């Protein structure tokens, strides 16, 4: 055991420079830049003999970076204040000798058993008062000062011990914040919630006004009366629940900041990150609040095997992460080589799917492809999760695909640092996700992601690349802005959509947008509230449909879930209902506003109807696809300083020919006219141009 002395290592620069936010990790350690390739590496699960074999295989696969010590707290600090770093030092030394960079985790995602035994008050509590016990992971309350002190102490100790290690290129704080402990309702959290509310509102009068406590006799006369939204006999106050989500997100962020700041105080030249979880089930954390707090945005993404459009959801998630990075390159920190272990049916990936998935992330801005994990575990809750080295060893489909991907990423090294080009913006908002799916809403059949994914899917199939942006984004240069179910919107965010349309752009807005203000209060005067004037319509009443009921539109589309009693106030009807509760009432409208056009969709169109509408909006706005290809072929452009990189990903069962001039990088083939991309395969074409040439 070793005691880490007080103080720290001298400030120094890793290989000459600290990467700026958005610059891929490992670039400073590898002159000329590269795409990161590797995985979570958990050597503590294996003997030193296996470590030596791991290094050999990492060289064979072309691994450039691994993440180490994510869940190692129990080994790093086996007793309070006593640290054992010798095993980790041996691992890092071996990796450095093998030329492999390290993303070193602080190990604080899951406290060890001794910590929970010594501090049971740090265990999280559910909304109905049940204490959650250790035995899984993330068994800690985000508001616990005891947890934060212990986590920060471990992070500081690691920084003092390894801050000058030559393998270290990136700090990895915690892991997947909020995955299992996003909300804690204990008394410690209650006190922290009250402090957060005091800072937000100042006094109880402002709190009562924001929460609308005149309803149901909820008015507060003393701060000690204010509690988290614990289980109650009836619907809980919606703004209280919204604020508790905001508070919980901020408490997790403060946990990250505490460790980050401790690391930065000792190793100011080492970039710091934590891994986000932008995918279809991760709604607990508002990552717009987090994005500016990391030196590089990273993400974990896992496919849902039951989703036939999982590759489109992958593209959407990647575009969200690029939006969080402000358009800069980001890093895919985790995904799976094949099956995961936590879905009802964990399907293996088909031949070629590993490469397609990985390069789809790279196409949309990731400067690498990392996985969970390096070697499949023999024991534990994730022993059936796939890895780069599977249980069956290297004479396997997975290993051959891993080696193929490593070679591909080496050939695509020039892509590192380039940026994705997009003409269309889609507004995405975690707070609208929270409020659209809150209790006591007009219809349980309305899901926020359903609306978002439906429109994104149509854009993907139309062949256009999308930038996903927050509601407060600057939209002035956008030709088309898509606004799905932006239920909660500030006056400023609504004005930004108005401005882009007035200046000549187009906005496509769906039902349940503009309905409430940031306190979750209805905007009175008729729906869609903040967007009434822009859209030239007034909705007097929602008419949700019964479960399974559909209606027909006079343009041939079918719709479900939702209709509205809508009146034209300057807009033109594009399509009306033929039947259902509102025959003859407009369902889709178009309005001239300033020099642009506002489109409104007052129902849940079927996929064909959504596709036709999106393509109409794009055509009238003059937005064309990146390349004319059959549906199911994904084309994305990344623009570098002196070249344009065109990714062509063929998700279909047939070969496709695409126009191409330049060099195909994966096959190292010069191109003069066209290229055939076989079924299920990927091509990356390097074209002349770039930011210093013909590109944008």
Would you call 477 a catalytic residue per the annotation?
no
Burial degree of 219 (CB within 10 A; 0-12, 13-18, 19+): middle
Q: Which of 5-19, 235-249, 511-525 comes out lowest in average pLDDT?
A: 5-19
Residue 117 CA to residue 109 CA, distance in Å, equals 17
Please state whether beta strands 298-300 and 275-276 pair in parallel, antiparallel, or not at all (unpaired).
Answer: parallel
Residue 306 CA to residue 308 CA, distance in Å, equals 6
Q: How many CB atoms lie within 10 A of CB 154?
A: 23
For the cut 50, the answer to whether the pLDDT of residue 23 exceeds it is no
Listed in sequence order, the DSSP H helices in 597-639 are 607-621
Residue 528 CA to residue 542 CA, distance in Å, equals 10
Beta bridge partners of 688: 643
Backbone CA torsion sign across 71, 98, 361, 24: positive
Residue 491 CA to residue 514 CA, distance in Å, equals 9
For the cut 80, the answer to whether the pLDDT of residue 5 exceeds it is no
Q: What backbone torsions phi and psi does residue 619 show, to the nearest 5 degrees?
A: -65, -45
For the cut 90, the answer to whether the pLDDT of residue 101 exceeds it is yes
Q: N- to C-terminal Cα distance for the chain? A: 56
Q: What order do you get walking across the sheet with 558-560 strand by strand?
A: 550-552, 558-560, 604-605
Burial degree of 218 (CB within 10 A; 0-12, 13-18, 19+): middle
Q: What angle, rounded to 10 degrees, do the helices at 187-201 and 204-211 form?
A: 100
Would you call 564 a catalytic residue per the annotation?
no
- How high is the mean pLDDT of the chain? 94
Residue 337 CA to residue 354 CA, distance in Å, equals 6
Q: What is the pLDDT of residue 11?
A: 30
- What would the pLDDT profile of 44-89 be if each residue is shown by its tens digit? 999 999 999 999 999 999 999 999 999 999 999 999 999 999 999 9
For the cut 90, the answer to whether the pLDDT of residue 121 exceeds it is yes
User: What is the average pLDDT across 242-251?
Assistant: 98
- Three-point CA angle 432, 437, 441, nearest 5°: 110
For the cut 50, the answer to whether the pLDDT of residue 27 exceeds it is no
Selected residue with higher pLDDT from 692 and 627: 627
Using DSSP, state whether 686 is helix, strand or coil.
strand
Residue 342 CA to residue 382 CA, distance in Å, equals 8
- What would the pLDDT profile of 514-546 be if each residue is shown by its tens digit? 999 999 999 999 999 999 999 999 999 999 999
- What would the pLDDT profile of 353-397 be if each residue is shown by its tens digit? 999 999 999 999 999 999 999 999 999 999 999 999 999 999 999
Residue with tokens 């191109």: 671
pLDDT exceeding 90 applies to what percent of the chain? 93
User: What is the average pLDDT across 559-588?
Assistant: 98
> Which residue of the set 251, 334, 431, 664 is catalytic?
334
| The model's pTM | 0.94
Q: How many CB atoms lie within 10 A of CB 242?
A: 22
User: Any idea what DSSP says for residue 140?
Assistant: S
Question: Where does the pLDDT of residue 10 fall: very low under 50, low under 70, confident under 90, or very high at 90 and above?
Answer: very low
Q: What is the pLDDT of residue 282?
A: 84
Listed in sequence order, the DSSP H helices in 299-390 are 310-324, 353-363
> Which residue of the set 23, 77, 176, 353 is catalytic?
176
Question: Where does the pLDDT of residue 24 fall: very low under 50, low under 70, confident under 90, or very high at 90 and above?
Answer: very low
Burial degree of 533 (CB within 10 A; 0-12, 13-18, 19+): middle
Question: Where does the pLDDT of residue 569 fall: very low under 50, low under 70, confident under 90, or very high at 90 and above?
Answer: very high
Residue 240 CA to residue 225 CA, distance in Å, equals 13
Any idea of the CA torsion for 132, 382, 109, 187, to the nearest 10 degrees? -10
- What would the pLDDT profile of 464-505 be if each residue is shown by its tens digit? 999 999 999 999 889 999 999 999 999 999 999 999 999 999
Q: What is the pLDDT of residue 288?
A: 97
User: What is the average pLDDT across 271-282?
Assistant: 92
For the cut 70, the answer to whether the pLDDT of residue 457 exceeds it is yes
Please state whether beta strands 674-677 and 562-568 pair in parallel, antiparallel, or not at all (unpaired).
Answer: unpaired
Question: Where does the pLDDT of residue 692 fall: very low under 50, low under 70, confident under 90, or very high at 90 and above?
Answer: low
Q: What order do you get walking across the sheet with 643-650 strand by strand?
A: 419-420, 633-639, 643-650, 682-688, 662-664, 669-671
Residue 554 CA to residue 130 CA, distance in Å, equals 53
Residue 291 CA to residue 445 CA, distance in Å, equals 31
Contact 584, 564 (CB under 8 A): no
Residue 189 CA to residue 195 CA, distance in Å, equals 10
Q: What is the pLDDT of residue 280?
A: 79
For the cut 50, the answer to whether the pLDDT of residue 325 exceeds it is yes
User: What is the average pLDDT across 196-225?
Assistant: 98
Residue with tokens 């109807």: 609
For the cut 80, the answer to whether the pLDDT of residue 428 exceeds it is yes
User: What is the average pLDDT across 18-25?
Assistant: 38
Q: Give me the domains of the chain, ranges plus CATH numbers.
A: 14-181+260-416 (3.20.20.80), 187-227 (no CATH), 424-621 (3.40.50.880), 633-688 (2.60.40.1180)
Burial degree of 216 (CB within 10 A; 0-12, 13-18, 19+): exposed
Q: Which residues does 481 contact at the CB level (< 8 Å), separation at least 6?
A: 424, 425, 426, 427, 475, 497, 500, 501, 505, 506, 507, 508
Contact 666, 684 (CB under 8 A): yes
């Amino acid at each position: 055991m070793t005691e880490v002395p007080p103080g720290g290592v001298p400030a120094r620069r890793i290989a000459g420079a600290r990467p700026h936010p958005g610059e891929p990790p490992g670039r400073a350690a590898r002159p000329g830049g590269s795409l990161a390739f590797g995985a979570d590496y958990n050597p503590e699960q294996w003997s030193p003999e296996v470590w030596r074999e791991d290094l050999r295989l990492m060289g064979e696969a072309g691994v450039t970076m691994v993440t180490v010590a994510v869940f190692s707290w129990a080994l790093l600090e086996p007793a309070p204040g006593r640290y054992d770093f010798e095993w980790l030092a041996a691992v890092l030394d071996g990796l450095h000798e093998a030329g492999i960079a390290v993303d070193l985790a602080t190990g604080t995602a899951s406290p060890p058993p001794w910590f929970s035994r010594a501090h049971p008050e740090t265990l999280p509590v559910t909304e109905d008062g049940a204490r959650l016990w250790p035995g899984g992971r993330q068994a800690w309350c985000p508001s616990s000062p005891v947890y934060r002190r212990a986590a920060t102490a471990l992070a500081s100790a690691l920084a003092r011990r390894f801050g000058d290690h030559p393998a270290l290129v990136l700090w990895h704080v915690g892991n997947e914040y909020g995955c299992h402990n996003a909300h804690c309702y204990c008394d410690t959290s209650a006190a922290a919630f009250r402090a957060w509310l005091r800072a937000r509102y100042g006094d109880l009068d402002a709190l009562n006004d924001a929460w609308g406590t005149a309803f149901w006799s909820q008015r507060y006369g003393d701060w000690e009366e204010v509690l988290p939204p614990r289980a109650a006999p009836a619907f809980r106050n919606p703004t209280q629940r919204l604020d508790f989500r905001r508070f919980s997100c901020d408490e997790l962020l403060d946990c990250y900041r505490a460790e980050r700041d401790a690391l930065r105080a000792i190793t100011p030249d080492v970039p710091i990150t934590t891994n986000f979880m932008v995918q279809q089930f991760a709604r607990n954390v508002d990552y717009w609040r987090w994005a500016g707090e990391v030196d590089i945005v990273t993400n974990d993404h896992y496919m849902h095997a039951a989703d036939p459009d999982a590759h489109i959801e992958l593209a959407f998630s990647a575009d969200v992460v690029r939006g969080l990075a402000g358009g800069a390159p980001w890093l895919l920190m985790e995904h799976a080589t094949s099956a995961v272990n936590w879905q009802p049916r964990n399907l293996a990936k088909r031949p070629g799917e590993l490469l397609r998935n990985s390069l789809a992330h790279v196409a949309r801005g990731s400067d690498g492809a990392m996985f969970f994990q390096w070697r499949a575990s023999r024991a534990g809750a994730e022993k059936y999760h796939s890895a780069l080295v599977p249980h069956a060893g290297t004479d396997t489909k997975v290993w051959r695909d891993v080696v193929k991907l490593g070679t591909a990423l080496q050939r695509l090294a020039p892509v590192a640092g380039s940026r994705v080009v997009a003409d269309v913006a889609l507004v995405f908002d975690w707070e609208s996700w929270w409020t659209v799916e809150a209790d006591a809403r007009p219809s349980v059949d309305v899901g926020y992601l359903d609306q978002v994914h439906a429109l994104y899917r149509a854009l993907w199939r139309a062949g256009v690349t999308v930038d996903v942006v927050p509601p407060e984004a600057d939209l002035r240069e956008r030709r088309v802005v898509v606004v799905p179910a932006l239920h909660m919107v500030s006056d400023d965010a609504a004005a930004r959509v108005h401005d882009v349309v007035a200046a000549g752009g187009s906005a496509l807005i769906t039902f349940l947008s503009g309905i409430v203000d940031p306190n979750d209060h209805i905007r009175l005067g008729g729906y869609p509230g903040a967007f009434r004037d822009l859209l030239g319509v007034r909705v007097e009443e929602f008419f949700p449909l019964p479960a399974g009921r559909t209606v027909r539109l006079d343009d041939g589309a079918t719709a479900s879930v939702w209709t509205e009693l809508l009146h034209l106030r300057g807009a033109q009807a594009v399509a009306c209902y033929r039947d259902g509760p509102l025959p003859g009432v407009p369902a889709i409208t178009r309005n001239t506003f300033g020099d642009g056009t506002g489109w409104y969709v007052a129902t849940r169109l079927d996929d064909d109807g959504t596709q036709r509408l999106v393509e109409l909006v794009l055509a009238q706005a003059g937005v064309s696809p990146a390349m004319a290809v059959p549906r199911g072929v994904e084309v994305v452009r990344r623009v570098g300083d002196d070249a344009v990189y065109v990714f062509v990903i063929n998700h279909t069962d047939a070969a496709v020919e695409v126009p191409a001039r330049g060099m195909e990088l994966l096959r190292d083939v010069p191109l003069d006219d066209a290229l055939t991309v076989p079924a299920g395969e990927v091509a990356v074409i390097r074209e002349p141009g770039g930011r210093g040439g013909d590109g944008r």
